Every structure is written in structure tokens, then in C-alpha cells.
Amino acid sequence: MAAPSWLWVPQLFLCLMVPSAAALQVEASEQVCGCCAGPMRNESVAAVFCGSRWDRVRRGRCCLEGDQKIVLGLDFGNCSLHRLCSSFQEVSTAFVIDLTDNPLESLPEGSFQGFTQLQTLALPLKLDCPGGSEVWKNITIQGNNRLCQDQRNPCNGSGGFDSLCPEGSLCTSDGPGLSQCLCVDPYHGYKCLRQGNFPYLLFFGTLGAITTILSALLWITQRRKAKTF
Ligand SMILES: *[C@@H]1O[C@H](CO)[C@@H](O)[C@H](O)[C@H]1NC(C)=O
Ligand SMILES: *[C@@H]1O[C@H](CO)[C@@H](O)[C@H](O)[C@H]1NC(C)=O
Ligand SMILES: *[C@@H]1O[C@H](CO)[C@@H](O)[C@H](O)[C@H]1NC(C)=O
Ligand SMILES: *[C@@H]1O[C@H](CO)[C@@H](O)[C@H](O)[C@H]1NC(C)=O
């Protein structure tokens, strides 16, 4: 039996969309990796991390996972950076980041939001570890650098973040010193107070009815106006 002829439409859609989505992600990480010229510096914590396993590859200033294009490490040391690159958020998958020997003035709040896997961050001495000293298990000073190591899970007991999440939700880490409350099934909505599935039929049914009534009203009133000319 031959396939229906209209099938080429979704197929074409898939052929166009899937590669471009993957390309977009690669492009984004390439943009960050190219934010600073030259290769990784061999003495960087990121280079040491990258060399510790055979299935990690260096590209420019980045350390990537095998062929998957995921950024695991980043050496932005000695890059004359006054602030972080605009696409810095794209490397939230990184385990190790080196920002030493840069004239960085400060790290804006939220710079590391979503960096849940970050375990080693090397900074110029004048900058503090993001989230404060309680967030890291081990902070050491090495020459002109500050090393922030082993991010604590802000949801873990004594931190106190856990108790801020309403009932029906779960505290999850969202980067150094940051947490978010995610509703657990079947709770949803504001403060996870609603239970059960989202009432799609009621929601869209009501929306549709209101739209229809408003359109009808407008049509009638505008028609009346038109007649008076
Ligand atoms: C840095 O490491 C790479 C690969 O491990 C090596 O080929 C290169 O010679 C090293 N460069 C310096 C300056 O040590
Ligand atoms: C930084 O890079 C410059 C060249 O661009 C080099 O001369 C200098 O020694 C480097 N400094 C450090 C601390 O690596
Ligand atoms: C803290 O980090 C330093 C430098 O990496 C390391 O030498 C030291 O053993 C660490 N201390 C703890 C308690 O993990
Ligand atoms: C939570 O805290 C306990 C003790 O403070 C520690 O043993 C455990 O490894 C922590 N778990 C995580 C996920 O950080």
C-alpha cells in the first residue's frame, strides 16, 4: 500500500526542523567558546580537568564531551574580560570554569543561574565566590586566584531553602546558592495548591465563548454605526 501523498508535509517539516535545532545549540556553544581567542592554557583548572579523561576534547577555550558538543569545561583565563560574554548562560552544563587573570569588576547577580553541575570555579582574588562562602564546601586562595570548589545543594536540610517550598513541591538546585520549587504531580499552579490535571476543556472552552460573544457584540455595534452614515 502506498503512503498517502500528504505525508511529505510532516516529513519535510521534520527534515527542516530537527537539524536546525541541533545546529542552533552547537552554534550557541561555539559562540561562547570563541568569546576568547587562542587555545586553553595548559595550567588552567579546566585544562587539567579536560586532560583527566580520554573522551573529552578541547576546542578553542572549551572542553567538550566526546562528539556530543556539550560544554564540560571552560578556560577564560587571561582574556582581558571586563564582564562575562553575553552568551555565557549557554555553558550552564560546565563542571569547571576558569575566569582568572581578567580585569573583571564584578559578577552580576544571576550570572551562574542554572549552573547546577559547576564544581570548580577559579576567580580573580578580588571577586567572591557566587552565592557566598556558605555555598561552597572548599574555598582556597592560590596566588592571585580564588578557587570555589564543591557546590553545596541548597535544598539539603540545614540550608533552610527546603522549608521555603510549599507543600506539594520539591526543592531543586538552580545553581550556586539558588534553588527553585518544582510542583510534584498531581499538584500545579500558584504555590502548587491545585490538584489534578489542568482543566484544558474548561479553560479553552470559556476563552472561546468569551471571544465569540465579544466578536458578536463588536460586529453588531459596528454595523449599527455603519448604518447611520
Ligand atoms: C599544552 O598541552 C598540549 C597537549 O597536552 C601540548 O601539545 C602542548 O605542547 C602544551 N603546551 C605547553 C606550552 O606546554
Ligand atoms: C597573558 O597573555 C599574554 C599574551 O596575550 C602573556 O604575555 C601573559 O604572560 C599572559 N599572562 C598570564 C598570567 O598568563
Ligand atoms: C580544598 O581544595 C584544595 C585545592 O584543590 C585541596 O588541596 C584540599 O585538599 C581541599 N580540601 C578539602 C577539605 O576538600
Ligand atoms: C546533604 O548533607 C549531608 C550532611 O550534611 C551530606 O552527607 C550529603 O552528602 C548531602 N547531600 C547532598 C546531595 O549534598
Q: Give per-residue pLDDT as tens, 29-41.
A: 777 888 899 999 9
- Which of residues 224 and 205 earns the better pLDDT score? 205
Q: How confident is the model at residue 150 (pLDDT cuts 50, 70, 90)?
A: very high
On the question of pLDDT at 103 being above 80, the answer is: yes
Which of 38-52, 81-95, 111-125, 205-219 is the least confident region?
205-219
pLDDT band at 215 (very low <50, low <70, confident <90, very high): confident
The yes-or-no verdict on residue 21 having pLDDT over 80 is no
The pLDDT value given to residue 23: 59
This prediction's pTM? 0.74
Sign (positive or negative) of CA dihedral 109, 114, 115, 117: positive
pLDDT at 119: 97
Cβ–ligand 4 distance for 156 under 6 Å, the answer yes
Q: How confident is the model at residue 106 (pLDDT cuts 50, 70, 90)?
A: very high
pLDDT at 32: 84
Residues with CB under 6 A from ligand 2: 78, 101
| Mean pLDDT of the residues in the chain | 83
Which ligand has an atom closest to residue 36 CA?
Answer: 2
Query: Which residue's CA lies nearest to atom 2 of ligand 2?
Result: 78
The finding on whether 138 has its CB within 6 A of some atom of ligand 3 is: yes
- Rounded Cα distance between 181 and 172, Å, is 6
pLDDT band of residue 198 (cuts 50, 70, 90) is: low
Ligand at shortest distance from the CA of 173: 4
What is the mean predicted confidence (pLDDT) over 194-210?
A: 74
Q: 46 φ, ψ to 5°?
A: -70, -40
Instruction: Transcribe the chain into DSSP letters.
Output: -PPPGGGHHHHHHHHHHHHHHHHHHHHHHHHHHTTS-SPPPTTSHHHHHHHTSTTEEEETTEEEETTTTEEEEEE-TTS--SS--TTGGGGTT-SEEE--SS------TTTTTT-TT--EEEEETTSPPTT-GGGEEEEEEETTEEEEEEE--TTSGGGSSGGGSPTTEEEEE-STT-EEEEEPTTEESGGG-EESS--HHHHHHHHHHHHHHHHHHHHHHHHHHHHH-
The response to whether residue 206 sits with its C-beta less than 6 Å from ligand 4 reads: no
